């Protein structure tokens, strides 16, 4: 029980001590948002505003979560003897969801400062954003575990991850588009719940399949 | 000649069915409909490709699960080769659909949920091949590609239900459009269509067995 807390703490400490990965991601998204601001500033419509934000979040998520397992390569043998695969996966999932939520919050802040914010139901948008982030980060965590053993990791993260993340992404983006267009909870209830169920499917599948990527 | 006589019965059945599909599918009378006209004959060549593809991919999934349960290398070969043949069927289905759509919808690609989901499943399986190519260790390659196969297939299924709900479709049989049953008043289409589905799926299975046998032989030669 306490082992996965230690694993989360260790991930946090690694990020705390060598700050370059996190700073790099924040810089990555700031420069992406700034570039979009230079390209779109002034004539962006509400739907494009929403789609652009999700695309930026998608690319940031790939880059941020890809390190989740690739940084563990040299420590795999210790973990193999010390912990159960489910504990490792649980700690990684919790950490990467929290990590992506922090990143999403920062990018949302920079995004609305530069590109403005149309008026919509803010709380509903945030619920949808959190569900989308859970889906993105859990998918990419699993893909990171799959591509850990391969030689060209960064390319594989994208080509393995993007087709699989599409259910999460189309649901999240279309919900967000409806929210931006002024829909209320009753009208998008069904789609938000299906997004939640896709998240659950991804997490359950990860727990079933992860032990097989771990054994060697 | 001796080989032909030893050939299993279902191979003969497959050959007869496909021959019948080609001859009857091109020659039997079809309902005259505006816009569709003679292109309705694509039903016997395009739709069975999807049946064949789903059949082969499901087989690939089943063998991936069996591989993870047993660790038997043969199951990995089955899984890989079935996906290989499945993707040939998928590409043929996509191309025939695009040619058909060009004549009836006016453009080869029109953001149709069926087209999008099939394109995504192609992407998934091409990524599966790239993944297999980029892991050196044999054991790890087999296990991790089986994991990816199961993971991606299980997420492809919800996708097939989600996408049509989000956008409207031009495709026959979805988005409020009637399927071929509504036009097929004298059952002429049905006479060929059911045979075509079974025939093409059998052909896919036949391809699969040949590809599997070839890799098994290759594996044995490498071992010696």
Q: What would the pLDDT profile of B7-59 be if each residue is shown by its tens digit?
A: 788 888 888 888 988 888 888 777 777 777 777 788 888 888 888 888 899 99
Asked if ipTM goes beyond 0.90, one says no
The residue among B54, B64, B49 whose CA lies nearest residue B18 is: B49
How far is B155 from chain A, CA to nearest CA, in Å?
7
Structure tokens at A192: 């938000």
- pTM of the shown model: 0.86
Place of tokens 């920079």: A110
State whether residue A182 is helix, strand or coil: coil
E strand or H helix at A157: helix A153-180
For residue B147, the chain A residue with the least C-alpha distance is A209
Q: Token pair 């999700």 is at which residue? A: A54
The whole-angstrom distance between B183's CA and the closest CA on chain A is 34
Residue B174 is encoded by which pair of tokens?
Answer: 């979805």
Tokens of B97: 């659909």
Alpha-carbon span B171 to B168, nearest angstrom: 9
Residue of A nearest to B128 (CA): A160
Q: For B145, name the nearest residue in chain A, comparing CA atoms only.
A: A146
CB contact under 8 A, B144 and A162: no
The pLDDT profile of chain A, 216 residues, written as one tens digit per residue, is 688 888 888 888 888 888 888 899 999 999 999 999 999 877 888 889 999 999 999 999 998 888 877 777 777 777 777 788 888 889 999 999 999 999 999 999 999 999 888 888 888 999 999 999 999 999 999 999 888 888 888 888 889 999 899 889 988 998 999 898 888 888 888 888 989 999 999 999 999 999 888 776
Contact A147/B at CB under 8 A: yes
Contact A209 B131 (CB under 8 A): no
**Best residue in B118, B131, B133 to probe A by mutation, most A CBs within 10 Å?**
B131
E-strand spans in A56-188? none
* Cβ separation A171–B162 shorter than 8 A: yes
Interface contact A114, partner B, CB < 8 A:
no
């Amino acid at each position: 029980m306490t082992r996965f807390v230690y694993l989360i703490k260790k991930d946090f400490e690694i990020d705390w001590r060598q700050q370059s990965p996190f700073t790099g991601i924040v810089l990555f998204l700031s420069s992406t948002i700034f570039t979009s601001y230079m390209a779109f500033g002034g004539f962006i419509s509400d739907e494009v505003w929403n789609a652009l934000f999700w695309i930026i979040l998608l690319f940031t998520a790939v880059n941020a979560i890809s390190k989740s397992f690739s940084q563990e390569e040299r420590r795999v043998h210790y973990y193999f003897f010390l912990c159960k695969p489910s504990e490792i996966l649980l700690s990684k999932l919790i950490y990467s969801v929290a990590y992506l939520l922090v990143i999403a919050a920062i990018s949302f802040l920079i995004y609305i400062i530069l590109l403005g914010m149309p008026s919509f139901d803010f709380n509903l948008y945030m619920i949808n954003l959190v569900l989308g982030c859970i889906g993105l980060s859990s998918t990419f965590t699993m893909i990171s575990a799959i591509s850990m053993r391969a030689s060209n990791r960064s390319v594989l993260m994208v080509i393995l991850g993007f087709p699989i993340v599409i259910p999460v992404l189309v649901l999240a983006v279309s919900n967000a588009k409806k929210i931006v267009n002024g829909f209320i909870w009753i009208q998008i209830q069904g789609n938000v719940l299906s997004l939640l169920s896709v998240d659950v499917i991804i997490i359950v599948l990860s727990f079933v399949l992860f032990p097989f990527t771990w054994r060697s | 000649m001796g080989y032909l006589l030893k050939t299993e019965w279902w191979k003969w059945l497959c050959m007869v069915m496909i021959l019948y599909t080609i001859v009857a599918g091109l020659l039997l009378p079809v309902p005259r409909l505006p816009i569709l006209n003679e292109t309705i004959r694509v039903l016997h060549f395009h739709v069975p490709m999807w049946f064949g593809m789903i059949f082969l991919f499901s087989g690939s999934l089943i063998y991936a699960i069996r591989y993870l349960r047993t660790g038997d290398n043969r199951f990995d070969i089955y899984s890989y080769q079935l996906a290989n043949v499945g993707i040939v069927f998928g590409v043929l289905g996509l191309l025939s659909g695009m040619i058909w759509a060009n004549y009836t919808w006016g453009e080869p690609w029109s953001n149709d949920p069926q087209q999008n989901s099939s394109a995504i499943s192609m992407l998934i399986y091409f990524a599966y091949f790239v993944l297999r190519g980029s892991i050196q260790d044999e054991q790890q390659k087999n296990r991790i590609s089986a994991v990816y196969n199961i993971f991606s297939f299980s997420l492809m299924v919800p996708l097939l239900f989600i996408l049509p709900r989000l956008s409207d479709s031009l495709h026959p049989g979805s988005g409020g459009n009637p399927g071929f049953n509504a036009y097929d008043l004298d059952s002429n289409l049905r006479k060929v269509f059911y045979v075509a589905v079974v025939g093409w799926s059998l052909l896919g299975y036949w391809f699969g067995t040949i590809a599997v046998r070839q890799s098994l032989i290759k594996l044995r030669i490498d071992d010696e």
